Amino acid sequence: MPYICPICQSPLLQHLPSKGYFCKNKHHFDLAKEGYLNLLPAQYKKSKEPGDSRAMMRARRNFLEAGFYQPMAQALAKIIDSHKSATTPMHILDVGCGEGYYCRQLEALAENPESLDLHGIDIAKNAIFAAAKKQQNARFIVASNKNMPYADQYFDLLLRIYAPSNDQEITRLLKPDGLLLIVTPGPRHLWQLKEFIYKEVKEHSVDVALPAGFAQIASQRVSYKTQPDSEQRMALLHMTPFAWRANATTQQQIQRVHNLEIEADFILTLAMLR
């Protein structure tokens, strides 16, 4: 079983008639109608709705579903395909998966989707609800990446795309020969959008901080131009932290400008335990 109890860390077993999960100490977790598990007990929540807001999640879904980041998703699928695990299925976890776009893409782009066992974790319940509703063949849980309720060494690959993570947990969850695939912004990511917001736009560093004990085995830069329309530019703004920095006038300028070409630029880093 992939899951452990978030309260006592014992393995979680599924009760088949109800489909809920329980541990030997009788902690019990229902499976939501949409198919996700909430493994973030109320006593561990630091706020009422932790993680990204529903508005951010919807903006991200609208922008991503329009396909603007699909070239990056294709590059991820290719890397995964060329590093298949020795045993099938390959257990993959998307850490901070948000509304699940990349899990859906990995299933859609895989040569053999049955060979992938896709999981997603996020602290935002609204995002996990949306992810689970749209993809039956992946398993989603609400939980914090600081305390990821999965069994030790369960995963062959962990994916971290623009999301926070906890080094200790990443190390614990990966098999000894497991892979960590990280996506971070490349030097010119969203350059033209940032020109509206900052007086002086600076390039992102290409250096990626790896968790202690990990060594990089490959790195790839994926960059290209996009041309979102006015509404899609607003969605892009609202799925990034830039929205906080752009006042109403700047937001209007971004909305009204004609034919803005925006660079997408990503660094994909593949690492494994030394």
Instruction: List contacts with ligand SAM (CB under 6 A).
Output: 51-52, 60, 96-98, 101, 122-124, 127, 144-146, 161-164
Task: Considering the complex, state which of residue 98 and residue 186 has its C-beta at the smaller distance from ligand SAM.
Answer: 98
Task: Considering the complex, state which of residue 17 and residue 241 has its C-beta at the smaller distance from ligand SAM.
Answer: 241
Strands 262-273, 174-185: parallel, antiparallel or unpaired by DSSP? antiparallel
Shortest distance, position 33 Cβ to ligand SAM, whole Å: 21
* Distance spanning both ends of the chain, measured CA to CA: 27
How many helices (H) and strands (E) are present in the chain, helices listed first? 9, 11
Tokens 């971070």 belong to 184
Closest by alpha carbon to 29, among 109, 169, 38?
Answer: 38
The alpha carbons of the chain give a radius of gyration, in whole angstroms, of 19
Q: Which does 118 bind (CB under 5 to 8 A by kind): ligand SAM, Zn ion, none?
A: none
The residue number whose beta carbon is nearest to Zn ion equals 5
Shortest distance, position 216 Cβ to Zn ion, whole Å: 37
- CB 139, CB 166: distance < 8 Å: no
Tokens of 265: 């630029």
Task: Considering the complex, state which of residue 106 and residue 163 has its C-beta at the smaller distance from ligand SAM.
Answer: 163
Shortest distance, position 172 Cβ to ligand SAM, whole Å: 15
Q: Which does 80 bind (CB under 5 to 8 A by kind): Zn ion, ligand SAM, none?
A: none
Shortest distance, position 148 Cβ to ligand SAM, whole Å: 8
Task: Considering the complex, state which of residue 42 and residue 215 has its C-beta at the smaller distance from ligand SAM.
Answer: 42
Q: Which does 77 bind (CB under 5 to 8 A by kind): Zn ion, ligand SAM, none?
A: none
Q: List, as one string, the DSSP characters of 74-105.
A: HHHHHHHHTT--SSSSEEEEEET-TT-HHHHH
Shortest distance, position 151 Cβ to Zn ion, whole Å: 13
Task: Considering the complex, state which of residue 26 and residue 48 has its C-beta at the smaller distance from ligand SAM.
Answer: 48
Distances from the Cα of 10 to the Cα of 81, 151, 152, angstroms: 33, 9, 11
Shortest distance, position 152 Cβ to ligand SAM, whole Å: 19
3-state secondary structure of 193: helix
Task: Considering the complex, state which of residue 27 and residue 134 has its C-beta at the smaller distance from Zn ion.
Answer: 27
Task: Considering the complex, state which of residue 13 and residue 109 has its C-beta at the smaller distance from ligand SAM.
Answer: 109
Q: Which does 27 bind (CB under 5 to 8 A by kind): ligand SAM, Zn ion, none?
A: Zn ion
114-138 burial by CB neighbour count: b if 16+ within 10 A, else e? eebbbbbbbbbbbbbbbbbbbbeeb
Extended beta strands in 195-257, E state: 214-226
3-state secondary structure of 252: helix
The rounded Cα 172 to chain-centroid distance in angstroms is 18
Residues that bind Zn ion (CB under 5 A): 5, 7-8, 23, 25, 27
Q: Which does 23 bind (CB under 5 to 8 A by kind): ligand SAM, Zn ion, none?
A: Zn ion
